[in-house]
Amino acid sequence: MYTVSALWATLIATDGHWFETKVDINGVTYGQDQLMSLSVDLRMFAEQQPSVGGCLAGEINLSMLAPSVSIPRMASIDPYVRVCAGVQQSEWIPQGKYYIDTREITKNDDNLNILTLHGFDSMLKSEAGYPSTSHSWPYTDINVVNEIATTMGVGVDSRTTDLMTNAYQIGLPAGMTMREALGNIAAMYAGNFVMSYDGELLLIAANGIPPETNYLVDAVGDAITFGGDRILV
């Protein structure tokens, strides 16, 4: 969870402002001088029409000049964006935490090596079976979510805790994956689980879509693009 600064709000309202993007791949930072295009996709619903009870994985697509260093399998990809105007720059805003799924190297018209990466966020870790536990059942809904998050190695967004106040009693998810258990809880709150841009489990109610899932737009409402792709923030 994050809140943009007053400087961000000032710069985005300034004529002639622009956006810069960078990515951290396996601990190495690459700026716009190396990036060709970047887009992230965080869906709020499993279908085109609103639906509930889903656990939706975010995706990233990235093309860049192939680096000289070797990038290991399943390396992390952390994209960031900031707004600039004149000599001023805002803070870097995270755009999610992803892991490489596929990669491809091709040659462009200038005979340069172009690396194309596709990745998913940590929601895919929830595909594993529900972990063995020593506590008694039933268990309250938020405790189940915290248990799943610990097993996945991620945090729970504070907005999830704020939303889950009904303390539903959950029976042992025998034979279920963690994703199925999360989906059942999401349905109880008429929402879906996603990974926030800080890489934490975030429950979004159908009537409570958070502002950072909006596209970045300029002062007249036109979408900001980078490499032809719209930027989410």
State the pTM of this model. 0.81
Identify the architecture of domain 125-205 in CATH.
Answer: 3-Layer(bab) Sandwich (3.55)
Task: Give the pLDDT score at 124.
Answer: 94
pLDDT beneath 70, residues of the chain? 1-2, 43-49, 207-233
6-43+57-123+210-230 fold: Thrombin, subunit H (2.40.10)
Task: Give the pLDDT score at 2.
Answer: 62
Contact predicate 232/213, CB 8 Å:
yes
Task: Give the pLDDT score at 51.
Answer: 78
Task: Give the pLDDT score at 108.
Answer: 87
| Domain ranges within the chain, ordered by starting residue | 6-43+57-123+210-230, 125-205
Task: Give the pLDDT score at 212.
Answer: 46
